[in-house]
Structure 1
Amino acid sequence: MENTMETAAAVVVVVVDVVAVLVVVVVVVVVGVVVVVIDVVAVVSSNRSTIVVAIRVAVVAVVAVVAVVAAAAVAAVVVASVAAVIVVVAAVVDAVVIKVLVLQK
């Protein structure tokens, strides 16, 4: 029963990792679309003012920082979840080996 709980916990961790990655991708895409819309509006209105350029640069900088931080966080979580899965697999293998050894006696 304990191994089942550990396996379920490992699966939940991996699912959370995948959802986190998807959320980061969606946020980056949405912000990218906003930047493109700002650019298109600026070009259509032929008023590429300093404010529009400053906003675009700021948005791109924020997206870059968020992407780097998110990538680092996701990498850390993925490493942790892989470690958790390895621990669970090792526990299951240990349990099987112990049962086989007990059955042989």
Structure 2
Amino acid sequence: MMMMMVVVVVLVVVVVLVVVVVLVVVLVLVVVVVLVLVVVVVVVVLVMMMVLMMMMVLMMVVLVVVLVVVVVLVVVVVVLVLVLVLVVVVVVVLVVVVVFVVVVVFVVVVVLVVV
């Protein structure tokens, strides 16, 4: 009878130990899986942030290039308009000078002919 009790107690202790070891192993596995999932999520979020930052940098570069092109075009157009205005002013001044010279020559000729 005593031997049976010792065997039962040993069996119960072994079963409890096995259950505790299995529970600890399952708990450790769950913690490892959760940690791996957290690391994967963090890495995915970081990669997405990097991709978004790269896209934003790319968009900023494209925006800067477009702005530079627009500014260069505006400067070229302004310079062309200024050159055109300068040419028109020079032509008008030349026409005025030529007309003045023609009028003066005409007046001088008329005065000489009359006198």
TM-score by length of 1: 0.49
> Which structure carries more relative contact order (alpha carbon 8 Å, separation 6+)?
1
Answer with 1 or 2: which has the greater Rg: 2
Instruction: Choose between structure 1 and 2: higher helix proportion.
Output: 2
